[in-house]
């Protein structure tokens, strides 16, 4: 039974209200339209809620992804969590190198292990060098710093005349090495092929030197009066080596003495770093 929306009077099955005369059919059409509008609004609102929930879920998943969270955060310079591998004890104490807005920890240098090997060297400089000469056969002889590292004991670096105290030879290794021993032949280890003159006894012989390395550390070494290469143990990482003469012996051959100090060979043992 229809009820008039205008006055509230029950209209029965009539098309018009018996009390106010309003059209009951028109009111029924308006009610149906309003009901449809309400259902449409509710449906749109429900769809909006579903879209919002899906969007939130996607954002949560993306934020928890390692590629979007961990690496992106570190690239912007934000510190990594305490349990991150980038701050583990393996890199503790290493200096940070700043690149852009972030910091990169260099790999910690590990101490090389294994058997030591012969390490070659090149001569960089010397504080002085004796002038060229000739041997007893008239062959030209030079005393360049490179002679001390050419592997030939019959050649030598020879400093200018005198006891050699304070004279220095500077050598360079092919790279940075952990040296385990250093040594040298403390004189001119040559016997003239024509006359048999022993140049080792004819010249001064070095009795002590100081070795200096890149980190400023030094090692003092004393020598026997012997032409053989004499070594001493060290434990230092370096690339450049300075040899400074601190004392020498006068010529043993007094018949034709030569007042020079010389180094025929230098020896290094170590491992590349």
Q: Per residue of the chain (273 residues), what is the pLDDT tens digit?
A: 556 666 666 655 556 566 666 565 665 665 665 555 566 667 676 777 666 776 666 565 655 544 433 333 333 333 333 333 333 333 333 333 333 333 333 334 568 888 999 999 999 999 999 999 999 999 999 999 999 999 999 999 999 999 999 999 999 999 999 999 999 999 999 999 999 999 999 999 999 999 999 999 999 999 999 999 999 999 999 999 999 999 999 999 999 999 999 999 999 999 999
Domain extents in the chain = 1-78+95-106, 117-272
Which element (helix H / strand E) includes 262?
strand 262-263
Integer Cα distance of 33 and 36 in angstroms: 5
Domain 117-272 is of which CATH architecture? Sandwich (2.60)
Q: Which helix (H) or strand (E) holds 271?
A: strand 266-272
Whether the predicted model's global pTM rises above the 0.75 cut: no
CA torsion 140→145→151→153, rounded to 10°? 60
Burial pattern 230-247, b for ≥16 Cβ within 10 A else e, equals beeebebbbbebbbbbbe
DSSP per position, 76-109: TTPPPPTT-GGGSGGGTTPPPEEETTEEEPPPPP
Rounded-to-integer distance, Cα 264 and Cα 246, Å: 17
Q: Which residues pair with 206 in a beta bridge?
A: 248
- pLDDT attached to residue 106: 37
């Amino acid at each position: 039974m229809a009820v008039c929306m205008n006055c509230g009077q029950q209209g029965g099955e009539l098309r018009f209200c018996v009390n106010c005369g309003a059209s009951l059919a028109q009111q029924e059409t308006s009610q149906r339209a309003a009901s449809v509008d309400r259902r449409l609004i509710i449906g749109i609102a429900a769809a909006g809620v579903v879209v919002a929930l899906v969007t939130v879920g996607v954002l949560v998943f993306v934020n928890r992804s390692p590629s979007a969270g961990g690496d992106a955060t570190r690239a912007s310079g934000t510190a990594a969590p305490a349990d991150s591998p980038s701050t583990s004890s393996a890199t503790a104490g290493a200096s940070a190198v700043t690149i852009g807005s972030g910091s990169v920890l260099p790999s910690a240098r590990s101490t090389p292990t294994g058997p030591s090997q012969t390490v070659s060297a090149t001569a960089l400089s010397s504080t002085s060098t004796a002038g060229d000469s000739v041997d007893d056969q008239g062959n030209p002889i030079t005393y360049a710093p490179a002679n001390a590292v050419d592997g030939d004991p019959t050649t030598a670096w020879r400093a200018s005349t005198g006891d050699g105290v304070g004279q220095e030879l500077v050598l360079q290794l092919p790279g940075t090495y952990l040296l385990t021993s250093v040594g040298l032949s403390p004189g001119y280890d040559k016997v003239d092929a024509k006359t048999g003159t022993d140049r080792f006894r004819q010249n001064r012989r070095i009795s002590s030197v100081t070795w200096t390395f890149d980190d400023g550390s030094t090692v003092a070494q004393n020598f026997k009066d012997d032409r053989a290469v004499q070594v001493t143990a060290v434990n230092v990482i370096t690339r450049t080596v300075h040899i400074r003469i601190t004392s020498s012996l006068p010529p043993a051959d007094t018949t034709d003495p030569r007042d020079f100090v010389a180094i025929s060979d230098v020896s290094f043992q170590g491992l590349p770093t």
